[in-house]
Structure 1
Amino acid sequence: HFITALRQPALLDVIEATLRDGTPRQSRYLTNDGRQDTTFRVSCRPLPLADGMGALVVFEDVTQFEQAGQMRRDFVANVSHELRTPLTALMGFIETLKGPARNDPVARDRFLGIMETEAGRMNRLVGDLLSLSRVEADERVRPTERLDLGGLVLSTVHGLAPLAHEAGVQVETDLPPPFEMTGDADQLRQVLTNLLENAIKYSGRGSQVTVRISPPRYEPRVRAEGVTLEVEDSGPGIDPIHLPRLTERFYRVDSHRSREMGGTGLGLAIVKHIVNRHRGRLQVDSTLGRGSCFKVVLPV
């Protein structure tokens, strides 16, 4: 009997009502497939039978739609939260400057400095959101231009030299002879910049960051000839509990420290989508107290 198989009262009420009056109805059925919660949209229709009225019950799996909807809601909530903090600070300082601190030059200069920092934080967040949107829009279109990945690494490292010097971090490179590969130069520079900036900011003063590229060879993970780009640091490492979620939007291992460093929580999400567009693979290896290594496998 269907009551013994479908043990959710709302669905049973729908089936019994349709059997009773022959009116089509809809309901939802929630269950678990052993790996995740699943959601079914259930349609119940009357089905005339030789010995009375039956019901045809159709289960449509809408789990992916539910998950997508939840992701959108979480995304809006996260963006609102990230923008609310600097906006609240800006509004508070503006009110103070219009009132008690109107004629206090020292307080005015201090508040304007904080306001500049908060405005910069919002600007970085909006910039990363736009970058993420563009990358997601292009994800299905494979890049076609040819580029020198080693040259891209050297120019990126040179551009970040002032940041490394200020942080007291030594950046080394280990590159093979020059070769060309297919890729989007601007996006791969963004991958390098995000990974290097994270390594420099969070590895700590006195640590070393190494950017390494393997020579082109057959890579089983992309089922083609490819290279592995590694950004390795000798910093404090990442707790394994965080590794599966590192590329989620707005996920931070240490949210307070990340905000202090100017992070938006979107850098690794952007990296993931760029790597996906290049049909590559992203792997993170890290041991607490021994540093982290971000590996990007790219077909050539």
Structure 2
Amino acid sequence: MRCDTSIVVTHTKKSGALSNMLTSVGGLNRKLTLVLLLVSVLTSTLLLLLFYNNYQMQLQKERSQASRQVNMLLQASLENAMLKRDLPGLQEILDRLGAQQGVVDVAVLNPDGEVRFSAEQKGLGVLFEPALAKLCPNCDGDLRQAEATTHFLTEPDGRKILRSVHPVRNRAACKSCHGTVEDNPVNGIFVVDYDAASITEKARSGLLGLVAAGLAVLLSAVLSMWWFMRRNVIAPVKHLAEVSEALSQGDLAARAELIGKDEFSGLGERFNTMASRLQNSLDQLLEKETYLQALIDAIPDGIRVIDESFSVVNANHAYRQLLKLSPDKSVNQPCYRMSHNRDAPCPPTLITCTVYELLGQGKTSIKTMQDFTASDGSHERVQVFAAPLNVELNGKQRHFVVESIRDLMRDILFSQEQKLSALGQLAAGVGHEIRNPLSSIRLALKSTLHKLEEDKLDAVQIGKYLHLVDGEIDKCIDITERLLKLSALSGEHLQLVDVNKAIEETASLLRYEGEQLGIDLELDLDVTQPRVLAAESDIRMLILNLIQNAHHAMLNSGKLKIESRLSDGEVSISFTDNGVGIAAEHKAYIFDPFFSHRADGVHGTGLGLTICQSIVQRHKGRIEVEDVLPKGATFKVILPEAGNSGENQDETGKPSE
């Protein structure tokens, strides 16, 4: 069993070595050439060895047969000479035989191995050398048991000979000299040594001729096989390999051109069919990818997709525009680096990390406010909606986070349309304010017409009526001027704004709304007439939003107190109500866009306080909120006083160029 295992292991090692050698050769052409050469050499060597041995044995057999025939003939001649007692004739026969070309030595031995006769009478009376065992390997030292044999020997001087040993059997005619056949079965041994060099040379020359012919035939076969394989196998395979390489490099138009009707031409047709289908599939995929990218690029909010390693794998145009990123730098980058300018993932305790919350904590969705840092260092306030995305890619489950990013600064910029929308909410109050002066004007005109109809003209009374009409018209004009100031476009040039006047005129527009809600308005304005350097329409809209915010905090009745103060170069405007107040859990979100929590349960736009904060920050101020015990709240706006605003002004109150 151990021997068999060794053989198997050895064979496996050899096979592995051959396989490794073929692998290291390289191309199919070289492998084929090497295999053909190896097979040819091994086969030729094996056949050569077999043929050489067989041919040598055949020559030996033929020579042995010839020597036996010669020995038989000589035996008859020798027996005849011995029966006639013609010893000189016997010696002459041996001498003539020994003189033949190719004959090395001739001797006649007695049964004891003693040389009785030999060519040129060499070694007479001595035992034949070499030993009898070599003379007759099958005699067991007794030449009387010898059989006719022929075998090759090597002389001490290195010469090879073919020795023919032929026993001379005893016969009745020889009884007088050799005794009976039973006592002496063999009269003697006839030994002839032939020069084996001629046999070997003949075998070698024949072998060489055969080898030459075999090599010529083998070389022709190998070359024919190589040419056939190269033309019909290697060339098509090489062409298919080149076309496949071109296809893998992105040349989808690459096609195989194999002429014929064999298996390779059929393979080329199937390859072309596969390539055409692949090209069509890739074209469809590219079209779908282009469509999907165009679709997400058309979304006005920023969209990005993040994988488990915090790397952004896809993003749309709005996202790149928000963070001012080029297309090549908007993907394959860590999300924390692009949006927060950090070198490591955001700490979940400081920043709401959507990847950590959705993929790590298993939440289904997240809505959060964050400050993003653009590539130029600017900060963008955004609202992030995020949800997990689980898909199977390449047989493996992958997890992503999809973020929808809304630019809040874009949404909360106070536009002219928003101003007009806010003014539309004042329609009832403005109509009431104008209706009263118009009613007074109407009564004065009717009284005047009545006096004219009765022909009771009283110049003094008519003058009073006209003065009344003029005063009421001034009120209407004043109301329209307040509306125009409130709805004016925010210009780049700032002006001196009388804070008390802006409070009074804006509050008057909301007086009717407050009366309908049962809210008492109290104004406590600083007598120093504080002024700020700002866009007047912005200040008026700021006051309007804070008054409306107070109204929304009070249900059926309440009290709103508005104060203005000038202190330490700052102008403060306070709005204090006794409404429901602000819950502790809501205080951190009241300035966030779209956050709305009104006392009447109505869901507003959620932009009022956000707009107020934007206006205050734009004018280098701040806004604070305080609780009022036992209930209510105070919003306090603090702006730089006109003399401390840091702006250079001309005599008109506008910033100098």
Q: Which amino acid aligns with 1:198?
A: N
Q: Is the 8 A contact 1:275 1:282 kept in 2?
A: yes
Identity %: 21
Q: 1:182 to 1:248 in 2, by over 3 A?
A: same
Q: Which amino acid aligns with 2:383?
A: M
Q: 1:229 aligns with which of 534, 549, 573?
A: 573
Q: 1:180 to 1:28 in 2, by over 3 A?
A: closer
Q: Is the 8 A contact 2:621 2:640 kept in 1?
A: yes
Q: Is the 8 A contact 1:248 1:269 kept in 2?
A: yes
In the other structure, the counterpart of 2:503 is 153
Give how far 1:37 is off.
4.8
CA-to-aligned-CA distance 1:208-228 (integer Å, 9 cap, x gap): 0000011x222xxxxxx1111
Give how far 1:28 is off.
2.4
Q: 2:633 aligns with which of 282, 285, 292?
A: 292
Q: Is the 8 A contact 1:125 1:264 kept in 2?
A: no
SS in 2 for 1:241: coil
CA-to-aligned-CA distance 1:5-55 (integer Å, 9 cap, x gap): xxx98489xxxxxxxxxxxx945266234522579xxxxxxxxxxxxxxxx
Give how far 1:71 is off.
2.8
In the other structure, the counterpart of 1:191 is 542
Take 2:532 and 2:549, find their aligned partners in 1: how far apart are those partners? 25
1:28 and 2:334 matched: yes
Take 1:247 and 1:160, find their aligned partners in 2: how far apart are those partners? 23
CA-to-aligned-CA distance 1:239-264 (integer Å, 9 cap, x gap): 021112111111012498233xxx32
Q: Which has the higher contact order (CA 8 A, sep 6+)?
A: 1
TM-score, normalized by length of structure 1?
Answer: 0.55
Q: Is the 8 A contact 1:236 1:288 kept in 2?
A: no
Take 1:144 and 1:194, find their aligned partners in 2: how far apart are those partners? 21
SS in 2 for 1:201: helix
Give how far 1:205 is off.
2.4
5 Å-filtered alignment, 1:132-151, equals 144-151=494-501
Q: Which amino acid aligns with 2:346?
A: N
**What is the CA RMSD across the aligned residues, in angstroms?**
3.9
In the other structure, the counterpart of 2:149 is none
Q: 1:256 to 1:65 in 2, by over 3 A?
A: farther
Take 1:280 and 1:74, find their aligned partners in 2: how far apart are those partners? 28
Take 1:29 and 1:200, find their aligned partners in 2: how far apart are those partners? 43
CA-to-aligned-CA distance 1:116-166 (integer Å, 9 cap, x gap): xxxxxxx979947xxxxxxxxx79x6x520121001111111111100000
Q: Is the 8 A contact 2:590 2:609 kept in 1?
A: yes
In the other structure, the counterpart of 2:624 is 283
1:64 and 2:405 matched: no
Take 2:614 and 2:381, find their aligned partners in 1: how far apart are those partners? 20
In the other structure, the counterpart of 2:557 is 206
Q: Is the 8 A contact 2:562 2:573 kept in 1?
A: yes
In the other structure, the counterpart of 1:47 is none
SS in 2 for 1:162: helix
SS in 2 for 1:157: helix
CA-to-aligned-CA distance 1:189-241 (integer Å, 9 cap, x gap): 10110110111232122310000011x222xxxxxx11110000011111021
CA-to-aligned-CA distance 1:240-298 (integer Å, 9 cap, x gap): 21112111111012498233xxx321111110110011100011112585101000000
Question: Which structure dedicates a bigger proportion of its chain to strand?
Answer: 1
Bigger Cα Rg: 2
5 Å-filtered alignment, 1:1-300, equals 10=309, 26-28=332-334, 31-33=345-347, 34-37=349-352, 64-65=373-374, 68=380, 71=383, 73=404, 75=406, 127=421, 144-177=494-527, 178-214=529-565, 216-218=566-568, 225-254=569-598, 257-259=601-603, 263-286=604-627, 289-300=630-641
Take 1:247 and 1:11, find their aligned partners in 2: how far apart are those partners? 30
TM-score, normalized by length of structure 2?
Answer: 0.27
Give how far 1:179 is off.
3.3
Q: Which amino acid aligns with 1:32?
A: C
Unaligned runs of 5+ in 2: 1-306, 312-330, 337-344, 355-370, 385-403, 411-416, 423-489, 642-657
Q: How many residues align?
A: 196
Take 1:164 and 1:180, find their aligned partners in 2: how far apart are those partners? 26
Take 1:11 and 1:198, find their aligned partners in 2: how far apart are those partners? 41
Take 1:290 and 1:255, find their aligned partners in 2: how far apart are those partners? 13
